[in-house]
Amino acid sequence: MSSLIRPGWGFTDMQGFVDWIRKYSHWLVLVLLESISLVLLISFNNYQGSVWFAGANRIVGQVHEWQQDVFSYLSLGKVNKQLADRNLLLEQEIEVLRRELNVLKHDSTFTERTLAAKLQKAQTIPAKVIYNSITLRDNYITINKGSADGIETKMGVVCGTGLVGIVSHVTAHYSIVMSVLNSKSRISCRLRGSNYFGYLHWQGGNVLTAVLDDIPRHADFQLGDAVETSGFSNVFPPGIFVGRIIKINDSKDGLSYQLIVQLSADLANIHDVSVILKDDDTDIAS
C-alpha cells in the first residue's frame, strides 16, 4: 500500500496519510465550502452567473481560436497546393478567353497598326481637343489648331483608333469639328474587302455605336466584319477603320440592310487628334 503513496506528501504509509488529512482537514473543508458557495452564487444570481459564463466563454473561445490557428498552420501545405492548382486552371482559362477575344475582335492591335500605316502616307496636322460634347443631338469638338496651321473646312479628323469627324468651322488658331456623334454627319463607308458601301450616321443615344445605311440585300457579310471609309469623297482616304458590325437590321422599306456599327473610337474619351491633309488624287487604299 505504501508503494501507492506518492513521495513528497509528508507521509510514507496509510497512517501517515490519515494524519495528513487530520492536519489539513480545515483547509480541505474551506476549499469544499468555497466551491459550494461559488456554485450556488453562480446558479442563483443572474449577474454573477453571466459574468462567470462570459469569462468562461471568452477563455474557451480563445482556446478554440488558438486551436484553429494551429490546425490552419498545419494545413497550409495542402491549402497552398490547392491554390496553385486553382491558379494554373485559371491561367489556362484566361489564355483560352484571350485567344477567343482576339478572334472576336479580329486583332484590334493589328487594326490600329494598319490605321497608323495608312495615315503615314497622308499629310496630317496633330491637334489637341480642348472641348468635346457627347450628350447633345448635334455634338461638336473644338481643337487648338486653325487656318494659321493650314486647316480648312471639310477636312477629315481622326484619332489613333478611328474616325472623329469633319472640320466645319475654322478660325486662325482654332477649329470646330462636326463629330461623328452629330445627326448631320454623313460619312461614306464600305464593308472591308468589298465594294458595298453606305452612309454612316448617328441616331443619338449610345455614343459607341452608329448606323450604316443602304447596304444592298445581296451583299455578303456577317457580324464582326470591319467597316472602313470608302474613299468616295476627298474628306477621308479609303481604308480608315471605322468599327465592326454588331447587329443587322432591315431598312424601313425592306430593300436594304441597316447595320449597327460598334465604333472603334471612343469619342467620349479623346484628347489627341489628327487633321488629314491630302491631295484629291492621293491614293492610300489597302
Which run of H or of E encompasses 116?
Answer: helix 108-120
pLDDT of residue 141: 94
pLDDT of residue 183: 93
- In degrees and rounded to multiples of 5, residue 13 shows phi and psi of -145, 180
The whole-chain average pLDDT of the chain stands at 77
The CA distances from residue 264 to 160, 206, 244, 245, 280, in Å, are 9, 13, 8, 11, 26
Total count of residues recorded for the chain? 286
| DSSP structure class, residue 158 | E
Q: How many CA atoms lie within 13 A of 26 on its CB side?
A: 1
Which of helix, strand or coil describes residue 240?
coil
> Can you say whether the dihedral through the CA atoms of 180, 134, 222, 192 is positive or negative?
positive
pLDDT of residue 1: 41
Smallest CA-to-CA distance from 189 within 238, 117, 118 is with 238
Q: Distance between alpha carbon 97 and the CA centroid of its chain, in Å?
A: 15
Q: What count of other Cβ atoms lies within 10 Å of the Cβ of residue 81? A: 10
CB contact at 8 A, 206 and 191: no
| DSSP structure class, residue 39 | H
Which of helix, strand or coil describes residue 221?
coil
Homologous superfamily of domain range 124-277: Rod shape-determining protein MreC, domain 2 (2.40.10.350)
CB contact at 8 A, 249 and 203: no
CB contact at 8 A, 67 and 60: no
CA pair distance 148, 258, nearest whole angstrom: 41
β-sheet bridge partners, residue 227? 191, 243
Cell of 270: 479623346
Residues of the chain with pLDDT under 50: 1-10, 107-108, 280-286
Q: How many CA atoms lie within 13 A of 277 on its CB side?
A: 11
pLDDT of residue 56: 59
pLDDT of residue 73: 64
Smallest CA-to-CA distance from 183 within 210, 158, 164, 159 is with 210
The per-residue pLDDT for range 104-126, each reduced to its tens digit, is 555 445 555 555 555 656 788 89
Cell of 94: 484566361
Longest dimension (CA), the chain: 128
What stretch(es) of the chain map to CATH 2.40.10.350?
124-277
CA pair distance 276, 124, nearest whole angstrom: 5
CA pair distance 231, 239, nearest whole angstrom: 7
